[in-house]
Copies of this chain bind each other. A is one copy, B any other.
Amino acid sequence: MDVRLINPFLEAAVNVIKTMARIEPKAGRPFLKNDFVASGDVSGVIGITGQVQGSMSISFTGPCIKAVVAGLFGSSVNEINDEVRDAVGELTNMICGDARRRLESDGISLSAGTPTVISGEKHVITHINKGPCIALPFETSDGTFVIEVAFND
């Protein structure tokens, strides 16, 4: 996989979460995802087409998404409800869109489908493609989230 494809997603995640939720996420060390890890309680998934085909997911722990949604709306939420699911879908869209704009200026043109949100404790996400899956972990003061990016080689 072209490593130029990864950094724009990292930068986009920091930018979108910081701008929208006024939370500054700290990026951890990216790693190759070889195992299927239950990485969150609510996830957004989006398909990517164009010069390369792939998929991106973002998985939040419960406390983390509650803090992000509180930052977005200015009021707290107690459970993962429709409002939270919509917010996760929008954040998925915005992060993928921001990353695509960064890639565009690097000469890589990609399109995206519409996001799908998965909720449910301990769900496992597996990206099925012909290339590696890179996981980008982030820390916030209210817990972690992970972005996964997978492209066909």
Contact = CB atoms under 8 A, between A and B. Distances in A.
Interface residues of A, number: 44
A interface: dominant SS: strand
A120 to B, nearest CB: 4
A113 B57 contact: no
Question: How many subunits of this chain does the assembly comprise?
Answer: 2
Interface in A80-125: 82, 85-86, 89-90, 92-93, 111-125
Contact of A128 (B115, B122, B151): B115
Given A47-B46, A47-B47, A48-B47, A114 B129 contact: yes
Contact of A152 (B36, B57, B114): B114
Interface of A: 36, 38, 43-50, 53-55, 57, 82, 85-86, 89-90, 92-93, 111-130, 150-152
Given A45-B116, A116-B125, 15 more contacts: A36-B119, A47-B49, A47-B112, A49-B49, A49-B50, A49-B111, A49-B112, A49-B113, A53-B112, A55-B113, A55-B114, A86-B128, A113-B113, A114-B151, A118-B125
